[in-house]
Amino acid sequence: MTSFSCRIAGWPLVSCVAIGLCVAVGCGRRGPSVEMVEGLVLMDGEPLIGASVGFAPISPDQGLHAVGLTDAAGEFRLTAMRGGAAGAGTAIGDYGVIVSKMLSRDPESKEPVAKPKPGAVVPKLVRPGNGMMDYIVLVPEAYGDATTSGLTASVKKGVNKVKFELRSDFALPSAGTPAQPSAARRP
């Protein structure tokens, strides 16, 4: 009986030491240091609903890739892709920004795709073939690449609010002509 009671008596001491270590050094992963980034995406002056927004660091040694999804008001919050908490933001740095939105479509569908407004490049039906699903591009493809979107943002300490105003007639620049950069506006 004595040895059994000694083991039980030692258990609270071990527990206190383990809990103390967790408090002192932290339990589990904390993730990267990030700053809140929230924003608004408009296309032709209207909120862009259900679009993916991506931030790609301009310098490979500064920043973290991050993504967000616009809601019914065209608003989003970023989440860092390497261990960031959902909606918490991304690391301080300068970023190239991409925005994309596509819908999949059954290749056998006979339903017509909506006609674009005059001068607009979307919506656009893409038929990759080889048994792959067709899809409809709803944001000009030039916005889907950080090197052609012309969209940039700087994340600084604190809460960062950005606004991107897209145009449905935005096209890839012609060969040899870079896209005109457009920094995010602060609302």
pLDDT confidence bin for 19, thresholds 50/70/90: very low
The residues spanned by each domain of the chain are 30-100+142-179, 102-138
Q: Over 50: is that where the pLDDT of 101 sits?
A: yes
**Each residue's pLDDT tens digit, 60-75:** 888 899 999 999 999 9
Element (H, E) at 8: helix 2-25
Residue 84: strand pairing partners: none
Q: What CATH class is the domain 30-100+142-179?
A: mainly beta
Position 152 scores a pLDDT of: 97
pLDDT confidence bin for 7, thresholds 50/70/90: very low
Element (H, E) at 25: helix 2-25
The pTM assigned to this predicted structure is: 0.72
Both structure tokens of 95: 């970023």
Give the 3-state secondary structure of residue 117. coil
**Cβ atoms of 137 and 122 closer than 8 Å:** yes
pLDDT confidence bin for 9, thresholds 50/70/90: very low
Both structure tokens of 78: 């970023």
Mean pLDDT of 134-144: 90
Mean pLDDT of 20-43: 69
